[in-house]
Amino acid sequence: MELNPSKTRKRGFQSPQGMHDILPKEQKHFKKIYNIAENIANFYGFKLIETPIIEEAGLFEKGTGPSTDIVQKQMYTFRTKGGDWLTLRPEGTPSLVRAYIEHGMFNLPQPIKLWYSGPFFRYERPQAGRLRQFHQIGFEVFGESSAVIDTQIIQIFYNILKELRFKNLTVEVNSIGDSQCRPYYKKLLVNYLKSKTESLCHSCQKRIKENPLRILDCQEEKCQRVKNQAPQIIDHLCQECHSHFKEVLEFLDELELPYFLNPYLVRGLDYYTKTVFEIFEKSEEGQKQGAIVAGGRYDTLVKLLSGKDTPGVGGAAGLERIVNLMKAKAWTSSVEAKKQIFLAQLGKLAKRKSLRLFEEFRQAKIPLAETFGRDSLKAQLRSADKIEAEYTLIIGQKEALEGIILIRNMKTGKQEVVKLEKIVKEMKKRIKK
């Protein structure tokens, strides 16, 4: 059948619903985000990875969770001519886990720090900041269980947004426990929700059996009223999860990041354990906008996808949402991330001081390396040798209490004592020489 040329020209072709062109005038905003993310990734020691846009459908069905909205309603899945079931990737973390396992990254020195950017796809009702094809940047760490890494992931995204000149940022954070304590909490929650079934929306009535935690994430007003009286998971954490979360909050306090403990924050994906977080920008009136960044810890996902028992933590930011909130701002590039300095720490107090000191060096544009998840000084000095650092800064419990730090010349082995508040200025002079 021949098409009517006049009708074809009149209608023309348009981009698919919920998918958009990034026009030249918008490219500067996306480029600005990419550049800032890349500079910060280099500083924190993250390596860029690119995964296919299309993956096996089972990767997300198993990894993201069969009862999630992504798997049940939003995935673009199709059968190839060869009979394979493939999916346009709806999120980044399962793909990175698949790559981590497939390429044997677990055999490399841990942790593995990766970052990514690119398009993702979800079938949902298009609206402002929520599209069917959208772009994200993400940061993921594999092979490290320390709470300091949870905080560093949050710090990275907070730094990106601050460099984009976002103001009134706030972090919402919670712990959703693990396989030791979450089952008991689910029983308490289900018992509470069963008495409120008629007060829930239709979708949440189904979720009571399938995925009760998702009810805490529902934005329907009637479900919000029910949620506000529900038991809180932080009251039922096991000792390990409680200690981990306490450390996360202590690190956030040390960095003076503005955070709010949201006991009902759960995220919509099944693989999360322990820490979950979201970052928002409040309006001038103090109203919370939609989440710009979200993430958390997923200590069981690598093993679930047929890998070794490997902890992980990460997060992602939606670029379209950021661009919609951005105004034109000047951008200046960071210094080249050649790391002549290594920061070593011993003990919890020293780790807290080191985390804050690390940020002071970043603000002074002085690159340095670290392995915050390691406690052995010998192991940390080996890491300093591997990157051929000229100096290692050493802070232990005694130094942290006395407000001092040791400067070790890695060539001569000579050590000097400097006051903590003067170390950034001192190292800036030495590097210039």
Segment 8-55, tens digit of pLDDT: 445 689 999 999 999 998 898 999 999 999 999 999 999 999 999 999
What's the confidence (pLDDT) of residue 431?
Answer: 84
18/11 Cα distance (integer angstroms): 18
Q: How far is CA 207 from CA 168, 201, 213, 215, in A?
A: 34, 10, 8, 7
What's the confidence (pLDDT) of residue 327?
Answer: 52
Low pLDDT (below 70) residues in the chain: 1-11, 128-129, 284-287, 327-338, 433
> CA 48, 150, 29 angle in degrees (round to 5)?
45
Instruction: Tell me the whole-structure pTM to 2 decimals.
Output: 0.85
Q: What is the CATH number of domain 24-178+256-325?
A: 3.30.930.10
**Is there a contact between 53 and 95 (Cβ–Cβ < 8 Å)?**
no
Which residues are part of a known binding site?
Answer: 91-93, 122, 136, 140, 267, 271-272
**Is there a contact between 106 and 310 (Cβ–Cβ < 8 Å)?**
yes
The structural architecture, per CATH, of the domain 341-432 is: 3-Layer(aba) Sandwich (3.40)
What are the extents of the domains in the chain? 24-178+256-325, 182-236, 341-432
Phi-psi bin for 76: left (phi > 0), alpha (psi -120 to 50), beta? beta
Which residues are part of a known binding site for L-histidine?
Answer: 91-93, 122, 136, 140, 267, 271-272
What's the confidence (pLDDT) of residue 170?
Answer: 94
Count of C-beta atoms within a 10 Å radius of residue 333:
9
Beta strands in 104-253 (DSSP E): 112-121, 133-142, 169-175
9 burial (CB, 10 Å; 0-12 / 13-18 / 19+) is exposed
341-432 matches 24-178+256-325 in CATH topology? no
What's the confidence (pLDDT) of residue 11?
Answer: 66
What's the confidence (pLDDT) of residue 203?
Answer: 86
